[in-house]
Structure 1
Amino acid sequence: MSTPPPGLELRPLPLPASADADDAGDFVEMVRVRNLVSTEISGHDDFHLTPHELLPAYAPGPHEHRMLWTVVLDGDIVGRIGVDIPLEEGSRVAYWLVELRRAVWGRGIGSAAYELVEHTARAHRRTVLQSWAQHPASDESRLPSPTGYGSVPRDHAARFYLRHGHSLEQVERVGALDLTDPGLPDHLDRLLQRATLAAEGYRVVQWELPTPPEFVDGYAWMKSRMVTDAPAAGLEFDEEAWDADRLRRHERFYLDARRRMLVTAAQHVDSGDIVAFNELVIGGDGTQATHQEDTLVLSEHRGHRLGMLVKCAALIAWRSVAPHSPRVVTINAEENRPMLDINEAIGFAPIAYEGGWKKVLSPGE
Structure 2
Amino acid sequence: MDFRPLDPDDLGTMKQVVDLENATEAVDGPWRHPMTLRTLDAEIRWAWDLEPGRHVVAFDGDTLVSHGVLELTERDNLDLAWFGISVPPELRRRGYGTAMLRHLEEEARAAGRTKAGAFCWDGSPGADFAAAHGYPKRFQSVNRRQHLEDVSLAKVRALYDAAVASAGDYELVLVKGRTPPSMLESMVDMVAAINDAPLDDLDMEDEVFSAERVAAYETAQLNAGLRLHRYLARHRTTGEPAGNTVVAVEEERPQIAHQHDTSVVATHRGHRLGLLLKTAMLLHLAEAEPQVRSIDTFNAESNDHMIAVNEDLGYRWMGRGLGFQRSLVG
Indicate whether 1:98 and 2:85 are aligned: yes
C-alpha distance in 2 between matches for 1:342 and 1:89: 30
More displaced 10-residue stretch of structure 1: 55-64 or 96-105:
55-64
For residue 270 of structure 1, report the CA deviation from its aligned partner.
1.4
Higher relative contact order (CA 8 A, sep 6+): 2
Match of 1:158 in 2: 127
- Confirm or deny that 1:121 pairs with 2:108: yes
Q: What's 2:202 paired with? A: 235
**Amino acid of the structure 2 residue aligned with 1:11:** R
The 1-side partners of 2:50 and 2:219 are apart by 14
Map of 1:284 onto structure 2: 251
Mapped to 2, the partners of 1:284 and 1:90 lie a distance apart of: 33
SS of structure 1 residue aligned to 2:43? helix
Shift of 1:105: 1.0
Q: Distance in 2 between matches of 1:179 and 1:164?
A: 41
2:301 is aligned to 334
Kindly tell me: are residues 360 and 28 of structure 1, through their superposed partners in 2, closer, same or farther at Cα, counting changes over 3 Å?
same
C-alpha distance 89-306 of structure 1, shift in aligned 2 (>3 A):
closer
CA–CA distance in structure 1, aligned partners of residues 317 and 252 of structure 2 = 26
Tell me, what secondary structure is at the counterpart of 1:260? strand
For residues 346 and 335 of structure 1, what CA distance do their matches in structure 2 show?
18
> Any residues of structure 2 matched to 1:205-220 within 5 Å, and which?
205-220=173-188
Q: Paired residue for 2:169?
A: 201
Contact 2:148 2:292 in 1 (8 A): yes
Question: Which residue is 1:148 aligned to?
Answer: none
Aligned AA for 1:92? D
**Unpaired stretches in structure 2, ≥5 consecutive residues:** none
Shift of 1:198: 0.7
CA deviation map 1:296-332 (0-9, x unaligned) = 1112211110110111111111113332222211110
What letter matches 1:59 in structure 2? Answer: R
TM-score normalised by length of structure 2: 0.92
Aligned amino acid, residue 355 of structure 1: L
Partner of 1:20: none
Could you list the per-position Cα deviations for residues 9-62 of structure 1 after superposition, in whole angstroms to 9, with x for gaps in the alignment? 33222343xxxxxx433234323422332233221342x343233323333799
Matched residues, number: 329
> How far apart are residue 243 of structure 1 and its match?
2.9
Is 1:252 aligned to 2:219, yes or no?
Answer: yes
Alignment match, 1:354: 321
Contact 2:66 2:100 in 1 (8 A): no
Residue in structure 2 matching 1:325, options 275, 284, 292: 292
Name the structure 2 match of 1:30: 17
Find the aligned partners of 2:23 and 2:229 in 1 and give their Cα distance. 28
In the other structure, the counterpart of 1:274 is 241
Q: Are positions 1:343 and 2:314 aligned together?
A: no
1:108-187 mapped onto 2 (5 Å cutoff) = 108-136=95-123, 155-181=124-150, 184-187=152-155
The two structures have a TM-score, normalised by structure 1, of: 0.83
How far is 1:103 from its partner?
Answer: 1.0
The 3-state SS of whatever aligns with 1:180 is helix
Secondary structure, aligned partner of 2:53? strand
Aligned AA (2:132): R
Identity, % of aligned positions:
24
Work out which of the residue numbers 44, 54, 58 in structure 2 matches 1:58.
44
* Structure-2 residue corresponding to 1:19: none
Deviations 1:134-191 (A, max 9, x none): 124xxxxxxxxxxxxxxxxxx521110101111111111111112012x511110010
The one-letter code sitting in structure 1 at the alignment partner of 2:278 is: K
